[in-house]
Amino acid sequence: MSPTALDPVASAVVITQAREGRTPRPLDFPAGLRPRDATEAYAVQDAVVRARGDIVGWKVGAASPQAQPARAALTRDSVWVAAAGEPVLLDASGFAVMGMEAALVYELGADLPARAAPYSAGEVLAAVASVRAAIEVCDTRFAAWAQQGEWSRLADQACHGALIVGTGTHDVTAVLPLAQAVTMSVNGNVAVQHATWGNPAGDPLRLLVWLANEGARSLGGLCAGHWVTTGSCTGTVLVAPGAEVVADFPGLGQAVLHLR
């Protein structure tokens, strides 16, 4: 007997209502609404995103340079672009978990709609308008952090809480990610520091190309103005309310977050 087909909209309601505070946070999806593979997880995630609002960005990452990437679409209510040199101020009460990650984010200056012929790396890179320093706040709509299976976490926007976009450069071809140093500081103390690229996925251009050709297809493709963060360069550092977090990419830019 084949398993019952998952209703992604019903699954999405579970974490949407939890995010909005209308129901208690569950430990996981109920058994009959729990995604069983990547296809089901993305179907739930897409339903979550459509209910949440306009897409303005994406997160994409991979466990290694050879691993299959994974993505989450990001909506307008969770992306903040800092004024030059200014910190972003967020209320800590808006998060169940405050996991900080330093990342690079790519600003798209041209649409990359879904099409039959795959985009080349050159075409994708030509669509990038700037590269910036960023902080992603990792969070969960569930009752406990990292206690769910990978498909439930993927459905929950891959544990996305907020994206803070800082300063950077429009000279996209001058950015050499694999040689890029990074330091993340919390309350003035260095939490993580890497002399060269700390992202396990390797070259972020591979992730951008996959996102353009496959990952973003079910939600209409990539659009000019979207921000794409390409995974953590520091791992996840949990912080408390009141923390000041700085992601510094020397020679490129900086992002600063104050949690009130």
pLDDT tens for 63-87 read: 999 999 999 999 999 999 998 778 9
**CATH code linked to domain 54-259:** 3.90.850.10
pLDDT at 68: 97
- What is the mean pLDDT of the segment spanning 231-235? 96
pLDDT at 173: 94
Spatial separation of the C-alpha atoms in residues 243 and 233, rounded to whole Å: 20
pLDDT grade for 136, boundaries at 50, 70 and 90: very high
- What is the mean pLDDT of the segment spanning 123-129? 98
Sequence spans of domains, the chain: 54-259
Residue 121 has pLDDT above 60, yes or no: yes
pLDDT tens for 160-176 read: 999 999 999 999 999 99
Give rounded-to-5 percent helix, strand, coil for the chain: 30, 30, 40
Residue 143 has pLDDT above 60, yes or no: yes
Percent pLDDT > 70 in the chain is 99
* Secondary structure element (H or E) that encloses residue 165, with its range: strand 160-169
pLDDT at 72: 98
pTM: 0.95
pLDDT grade for 1, boundaries at 50, 70 and 90: very low
Spatial separation of the C-alpha atoms in residues 163 and 102, rounded to whole Å: 10
Q: Are 137 and 164 in contact (CB under 8 A)?
A: yes
φ, ψ dihedrals at 150, nearest 5°: -60, -30
pLDDT at 254: 97
Question: What average pLDDT does the chain have?
Answer: 96
Residue 112 has pLDDT above 70, yes or no: yes
Spatial separation of the C-alpha atoms in residues 251 and 237, rounded to whole Å: 23
Percent pLDDT > 90 in the chain is 97
Q: What is the DSSP letter of 229?
A: E
Is 138 in a helix, a strand, or coil?
strand
pLDDT tens for 6-60 read: 999 999 999 999 999 999 999 999 999 999 999 999 999 999 999 999 999 999 9
Structure tokens given for 3:
């398993």
Residue 115 has pLDDT above 50, yes or no: yes
